[in-house]
Amino acid sequence: MRQVPAANWAESFHYSFRDCVYPSSVEDVCDIVARSQTIKALGSRHSFNAIADGQVAMSLAEMPTKPVIERDGTQVSVGGHCTYGELALFLHDHRLAVHNLASLPHISIAGAIATATHGSGNLNGNLATAVSGLEFVAGDGSLVTVKRGDADFAGMVVHLGALGIVTRVTLDVQPEFQVAQCVYDGLDWDKLVENLDEITGAAYSVSVFTQWGDQAGSIWLKRAGAGDDWPTAIHGAVRAQVKRHPISGLDAQNATDQLGEYGRWSDRLPHFKMGFLPSSGEEIQSEYHVPKEYGAAAVEALLSVRNRFAHLVQAGEIRTVAADQLWLSPQYQRDTVSFHFTWVRDQDAVNAAVRHIEDVLAPLQALPHWGKVFTRSHIGASYERLADFARIRNGMDPERKFSNLWLEDVVFGSAGA
């Protein structure tokens, strides 16, 4: 009897799956999809809401990932279920890199791009922006390939699991680079609000970690390539002399190396090391993206209601993500400042807290992370190209084999008809 996944990675969301299929080849995937009435691809199960829920799951875990360097070393193609951590090991052998990573390398590529997963950096697009080609198995079991430049490509990358099973992804790669990170403790809220642009622009990738307490918290700078000496202080925050975990009190051993020492891009861009527990494990996450020009206003808006949510925060993180052209990306034609919350694992309390956050961020054009917890319905209506995305879905999945309640309620609404 094959294992049927019961819950997401954090065990905060319980799936409704009654069966799970494990194809061993793309031909198997085509055959299974053609014969199925309903099927939902599961990635590494790192989402926090019902986006990946369904009746019958499909795990690609038994398929080979077969990474291949393409186009004179400027692209790599790989099975969609490959994790970024596994891909990084392959890229190291070829002295190549992807432009950025999320906080953890444990997530699958197909699942990450489905939800516009991102890292940080004023000039870094989310991880989906590195996609230059995709192979899907559509609802009739046929293979659909699409590449950058094709008419609907920009609508198919942030796919929300709605268009088919992603069997292969092609990503842009670049020569490998070295990254070093340093943490600066003791940042005050007024310094953050006054200098938000300067702080988020202070390195290749920047995160501000906060408990939403009396002080803002710490700045994490990740530099790509050599730089000047690290300053001893930034806007009053002082360079840490010992290694930190993003969640205060947890073992820094699980976090990537700090203290300014250079190492491989893949060993510093994420906060958490491959092979170690990322984050706390017992948690729920939410995240809201606001246009960059509203970043300081969003900090102030959140401070005005922090007494409603701060007691539930294990870690808050403020990052930036560059604008892109991907239709269902929260960064579609806008640079964002993104406010992430790692909550304690208490769903009712988190839902109540999140409502306060949504109320104060709504006037600032906030959009939630597709893979995390939020309470607003029909988010899809906020996306200018939703009708075009629905048209692509109608073509690839006319029988709604890949749909679920979450997609119809949160994304399509009346556009799904």
Tokens found for residue 234: 């930034």
Question: Which residue's CB is nearer to ligand FAD, number 239 or number 265?
Answer: 265
Question: Which residue's CB is nearer to ligand FAD, number 168 or number 191?
Answer: 168
Determine phi and psi for 20, rounding to 5 degrees: -145, 135
Of 228, 222, 286, nearest to 255 by C-alpha is 222
Q: Give the shortest CB-30-to-ligand FAD separation in angstroms.
A: 13
Question: Which residue's CB is nearer to ligand FAD, number 44 or number 320?
Answer: 44
Question: Which residue's CB is nearer to ligand FAD, number 114 or number 199?
Answer: 114
Tokens found for residue 13: 């969301």
Residue spans of beta strands (DSSP E) within 235-377: 237-239, 263-264, 284-291, 313-321, 336-343, 367-368
Specify the DSSP class assigned to residue 20: E
The DSSP secondary structure of 210-232, one letter per residue, reads E-SSSS-EEEEEEEES--SPPPS
Tokens found for residue 30: 């085509």
Q: Give the shortest CB-139-to-ligand FAD separation in angstroms.
A: 12
Question: Which residue's CB is nearer to ligand FAD, number 44 or number 132?
Answer: 44
Q: Give the shortest CB-132-to-ligand FAD separation in angstroms.
A: 17
Of 142, 137, 138, 131, nearest to 169 by C-alpha is 131
- The residues that bridge with 339 in the sheet, in sequence order, are 288, 318
Amino acid letter for position 160: L
Question: Which residue's CB is nearer to ligand FAD, number 125 or number 191?
Answer: 125
Q: Give the shortest CB-316-to-ligand FAD separation in angstroms.
A: 13
CA distances from 78 to 141, 146, 283 (A): 20, 15, 30
Amino acid letter for position 216: A
Q: Give the shortest CB-241-to-ligand FAD separation in angstroms.
A: 26
Give alpha helix (H) positions in 11-147. Answer: 26-35, 84-93, 109-114
Q: Give the shortest CB-136-to-ligand FAD separation in angstroms.
A: 7
| 7 touches 14 (CB < 8 A) | yes
Amino acid letter for position 409: D
Of 311, 302, 313, 317, nearest to 357 by C-alpha is 302
Binding residues for ligand FAD, per CB under 6 A? 9-10, 40-47, 51-52, 60, 80-81, 102-104, 107-108, 110-112, 114-115, 117-118, 160-161, 165-166, 278-279, 285, 369, 371
Q: Give the shortest CB-387-to-ligand FAD separation in angstroms.
A: 20
Question: Which residue's CB is nearer to ligand FAD, number 158 or number 216?
Answer: 158
Question: Which residue's CB is nearer to ligand FAD, number 211 or number 338?
Answer: 338
d(CA 309, CA 411): 26
Within 10 angstroms of residue 90's Cβ, the number of other Cβ atoms is: 17
Q: Give the shortest CB-194-to-ligand FAD separation in angstroms.
A: 26
Q: Give the shortest CB-385-to-ligand FAD separation in angstroms.
A: 18
